Amino acid sequence: MAPEIRRGFIIAALILLVFALLWASRTENIPPADFSLQNGTDPKTIDPHRASGQPESRIIFEIFEGLMRMLPEGDPDPETGLQALSPQPGMAKSYDVSEDGKTYTFHLRDDILWTDGTPVTAHDFAWSWHRMLHPATGCEYGYLINELRLAEAYHKQLLNIGDRVEVELWDRPEDGDPNSDEKGALQHFPRGTIVYGWLREIEKTPEPEFEKNESGEYIQNEDERNSAIAQWKQSWIYRIDVVPTDDADQPQWDGNAESQRFSQSLEICSADQDIQRTHFVLVDFVHNGGAQAIDDKTFVVHLNNSIPYFLNLVAYYPLFPVNKKCIETHGAPLWTKTENIVTNGPFNLDFRRLRNRVRVRRNPDYWAIDRVGLETIDFMSLESQNTALNMYETGQLHWINDLPTSVLEELQKRDDFHSGPKLSIYFYKLNTAVKPLDQVKVRQALSMAINRKQIVEEVTKAGQQPALSVVPPGLAGYRGAEGLPENLEKARELLAESGYPGGRGFPKLTLMYNTSETHRPIAEVIQQQLQNNLNIKIELKNMEWGSFIETVQQEDYQMARYGWVGDYPDPNTFLDLWVSSSPQSNTNWKNPEYDRLIVAAGKEFDSKKRMELLRQAEQILATELPIIPIYFYTSAEMAKPNIEGFAPSAQDLHPLSVLRLRDSSTATKE
């Protein structure tokens, strides 16, 4: 061996040794948890109304609980090995549904407590759903309950003359500790004084006009136009008949009102002292919306249309309650710190260590404490597949869910290997505001030049299915859309028709992906395929999870790797992401007919007609391709044989509160 090669090996070994010592130094004083799992990256937040990823949701599902909770139903399927999960009573002991399916009445349990010892009430749910929908919260899942009465209008700030409205005055308290570095980022919801009334008039200045070039395209980009429109809306003056409010903060809707004027603009309010400054003017969701606490134990939900999967939504974490006193005391994000947080789930937050772990501990006041089989759980921040596998083999982890493809074939032969189809898809988002991705034919050419079979057979190797459409197979009563198959000749033809014959003149695009040992090899294969097949150059860019999510949300990207796990077993969970107003889209793609079909499906009571409307919408998506489907996932995970209650599920949900270890005394000492 040449000296320089030998020297390279020595340096590499020393680097690995340093990393191992650093890891050991961070964990040597921490006694092992009863159960430890690979959780990928550090959670970005554990606020149920701000989270959107799996590393966050796994923790939230264990420390919070909603009216309903997803739990195992029966034994795993003997053929697929999949465990069926269903929404079962959580904080609610029972519920009633009206004959038309539009009204749900939930009856809360008597023995449910927050971790500060106070009771969980129906008012907590009403306040939490209100917070989730409030524009200032920035919840990406607000669209989930668009069918809730007034929810969409409240979330999207839609108003009509004559609406009952709430006005938040510009008198919010100081944002926390003035010596804190986080001052200014805090959010107390709602923070200012709230007054109520009827919207009588909106005084508007002339709407901004935008210049177009000879081709009919706007000279300003979409961000500039949106910013100008937002500033224009802030200049509106609202004339509102304000109704009296008593000490209990209950408006007196008796017609006795005083006309007052409000605006968000500091300049307008400074010029006219009779105009009061406001943060928001919104429809009155508190008193007139679809989430109402009748008393401490009764929570009533009013829907515009029946939703067949509504109980699944109620069991999904964005609809979990958060503690009002905790948030108003500490503000966001400080309320989620270990020393501040108040929760209501099977486990309490014990401690967090950055880039290391989140530990939760069994909640002694949980209403179903007898069914919680583990005392402590560690959610380990591990992005390295090899490190996770090594820790699993040495007994430091009990469950890992991101396996190295290099040893996958060998692992599949073992009894502790679990696999099954998942209700999820791997895809690439395309920013259609970026040229030339604004052209449908360009997007079609990119998709048709990708050999998905090569990816699933040579890279991922876990039984994934190539995907040409968006909705995974296997949903009862649904026939998916037909996507565009691989066709190099057609792809080259489409590229030439778009003005790039043979790839000439096509700009280099950047493909972003978050840190993972799987995303890069997939991206490298696609990079090579597009280079060979279309003479298109793709630059790869790896980013840490938090930065990746933020960059995509700000739409500051060209192409981005993404995955989506179905929130509930229905095609809608994959399709309503792409409506024009969805905060989850981030593609700048808009199609009025697609929007119309999704809305129509939401109002269709007949199941067959509803599924057909959704299929038509998916066909538009699979044709215009604001996203490029790559493959449908299968699970590939390892779980220790002494875990009772573990099985893969189609939604990739694993309620940890039901797990038990047959021999907990040796579980972490193998």
Query: For the chain, what are the domain ranges?
Result: 30-64+347-403+659-670, 70-211+223-336, 419-634
Among the listed ranges 171-180, 252-261, 477-486, which one has the minimum average pLDDT value? Answer: 171-180
Q: How far apart are CA 633 and CA 26, in angstroms?
A: 34
Q: What is the mean pLDDT of the chain?
A: 90
Q: Is the pLDDT of residue 670 over 50?
A: no
Q: What is the DSSP string of 635-669?
A: EEEEE-TTEES----TT----GGG-EETTTTTTT-
Which residue did the predictor score with more confidence, 635 or 274?
274
Q: Is residue 261 over pLDDT 70?
A: yes
Q: Is the pLDDT of residue 94 over 60?
A: yes
Res 413: pLDDT: 94
| pLDDT tens per residue across span 22-35 | 545 455 578 999 99
Tell me the pLDDT band of 635, cut-offs 50, 70 and 90.
confident
pLDDT for residue 176: 43
pLDDT computed for residue 15 by the predictor = 52
Q: Per-residue confidence at 184, pLDDT binned at 50, 70, 90?
A: very low
Which regions of 192-271 does DSSP assign to beta strands (E)? 194-203, 237-242, 258-263
> Which listed CATH number (3.40.50.1100, 1.10.1060.10, 3.10.110.10, 3.90.76.10) goes with 70-211+223-336?
3.90.76.10
Does residue 82 or residue 507 have the better pLDDT? 507
How much of the chain, in percent, has pLDDT values that exceed 90?
Answer: 72
Per-residue tokens: 552: 């995509």
d(CA 639, CA 36): 11
Q: Check residue 665 and give its pLDDT.
A: 46
CATH of 30-64+347-403+659-670, one of 3.40.190.10, 2.40.110.10, 3.30.70.260, 3.30.390.30: 3.40.190.10
Q: What's the confidence (pLDDT) of residue 568?
A: 86
Residue matched to tokens 């007139």: 288
The rounded distance, in Å, linking the Cα atoms of 578 and 617 is 10
* pLDDT of res. 587: 95
d(CA 202, CA 165): 13
> What CA–CA distances, in Å, run from 197 to 131, 254, 285, 294, 571?
20, 11, 12, 22, 40
Average pLDDT over residues 73-83: 85
**Listed range (186-195, 447-456, 478-487) with the worst mean pLDDT:** 186-195
Whether the CB-CB separation of 419 and 635 falls below 8 Å is answered with yes
Q: What is the CATH number of domain 419-634?
A: 3.10.105.10
Which range, of 96-105, 430-439, 659-668, averages the lowest pLDDT?
659-668
Question: What stretches of 28-118 show up as alpha helix (H) in DSSP?
Answer: 54-63
pLDDT at 457: 93
CA 138 to chain centre: 11
pTM comes to 0.84
Q: How far apart are CA 575 and CA 594, in angstroms?
A: 9
Contact criterion met (CB below 8 Å) for 585 and 595:
no
| Spatial CB neighbours of 528, under 8 Å, sequence gap ≥ 6 | none
User: What is the rounded distance in angstroms from the CA atom of residue 340 to the CA atom of residue 186?
Assistant: 14
Q: Count other C-beta atoms under 10 Å from residue 398's C-beta.
A: 27
